Amino acid sequence: MIVFNKDMDFNVVEIIKDKKFLSPEYMPNKIIGRKKEIDDLSFHLSYFFRENPSLPSFIISGSSGTGKTLVVKKILQGFQEEANKKKSKVKIVFIKGSESRSKYEVLKSILKQLCGDKKLPRTSSDCYDKIVNFLATSESSVLIVIDEIHEIKNSEELNNLLFTISRFGEDMAFYQEGEQKILKNKNTHYGYILITNDALMTKDLNQNTKSSLTRDRIHFPRYSPDEVFEILQDRIKKGAFHKNKIKENHLKYISALSIQEGEDARYGLLLLSNIAKYAEKNRLVISDDVIVEVNNGLRKRLLLEIILDLPWIYKKILKIIVDLFNEKVDINSKKIFELYDSDPSNKNLNFSRICQIVTFLEKEKIVYVKGSNGNNLRKLTIGENIIEIKHALTEEGLL
């Protein structure tokens, strides 16, 4: 039984109205600061609606948090709607390199999205043959999008995958020519979009892969302070804060600090959220002094704040990783899954979902990869972050 102290006061100074608009995961309808990139992407895709249609192939690069995935998803949504209106059949395959880390895994994911096969081939070669057959005989054109392709860190795997992706169009044409007696008037097309944080991803590829791969690129530069300001202002207008709770000059200050810290709009949103919570808790209005104090604290405990902001299930997985770390055993996704699955009180999650969560923790630099074993399972560690992780999990009552 909880006994409330009569002196407890739950009437705080309300600043935050709707927290979802402060989340980096929120997908806004209005895309700020990316007009040139939107125009470039739309131009490339416009060839599909011309008299002699074709699908483009290009690489999108830019550091993390510059809006690459958001823009691509928004443009492709409009592209698919336009294709449907014009009755142009096209299948868009979307894959994340962080969830398919080998050539086989990527090809298997492509095949599954194209054909819906439940029983998938066990080799890259067989997957490849089935994909080429689909490309050559389907009534739909195919656009393959691979996000986070830099996550395929094995250079040989990446080289082989990129060579294969780049040659699908020629292989499809060769197949159609060889089967022209049984194929009727074919007019389907193939293209690909590769999205990467690493602008130098192609630097160390084999020469034959470089020569096959597209040279068309769209680069997403980092946001300017004015663009971060617009993004934060848009979230406020959407309903993140109650009216008149923050002044324009304070938003500009927060935006400048986010760039000064070497971060982007994501840091700006996290800083804005923490400033609002600090002001509410201490019954203050947002001021320069409040902003400076919260920013100084956030710099010191940025990782802690990121962990505290994770969904509950992510924290549960992190707790399992801490337990394995304390036992001084090798940590990998399989062991994490087995330990999670052995507790009947846990919500049912499959191995693939556990891997996705672990990958997210890697991307946030909470968990690090320190090698792999013979089964291609990545060995993980949290040694550099153990103090912050334990602090966060203790605050959440998990330790």
Span 185-237, pLDDT tens digits? 467 889 999 999 887 788 778 898 988 898 899 999 988 899 999 999 999 99
CA distance 25 to 313: 16
Per-residue pLDDT at 322: 92
Domain count, the chain: 3
Question: 195 and 56 in one domain?
Answer: yes
Angle, CA 211 vertex, CA 164 and CA 42 arms, to 5°: 75
Per-residue pLDDT at 182: 45
Question: 256 and 332 in one domain?
Answer: no
Across the chain, which has 399 residues, the per-10-residue mean pLDDT values are: 47 83 83 93 94 92 84 93 93 88 89 83 88 87 92 82 88 61 62 89 85 90 91 94 94 90 78 93 92 86 79 89 90 90 85 85 82 69 84 86
Helix (H, G, I), strand (E, B) or coil at 350: coil
- Mark out the alpha helices in the chain (DSSP H runs): 35-46, 68-85, 103-115, 124-137, 155-178, 207-212, 225-235, 248-260, 265-281, 288-300, 302-308, 312-326, 333-341, 351-363, 386-395
Span 285-311, pLDDT tens digits? 999 999 999 998 887 777 887 788 788
Per-residue pLDDT at 302: 76
pTM exceeds 0.85? no
Tokens of 236: 């406020």
Cβ-based burial of 260 (10 A; exposed 0-12, middle 13-18, buried ≥19) = exposed
The one-letter code for the residue type at 272 is: L
Question: 154 and 281 in one domain?
Answer: no
**Full domain range(s) for residue 267:** 243-300
Question: β-strand 90-96 against 217-219: which pairing, if any?
Answer: unpaired
Question: 52 and 71 in one domain?
Answer: yes
The answer as to whether 175 is a domain residue is yes
Per-residue pLDDT at 139: 87
Question: 313 and 285 in one domain?
Answer: no
Work out the number of other CB atoms within 10 angstroms of the CB of residue 328: 7
Question: 272 and 125 in one domain?
Answer: no
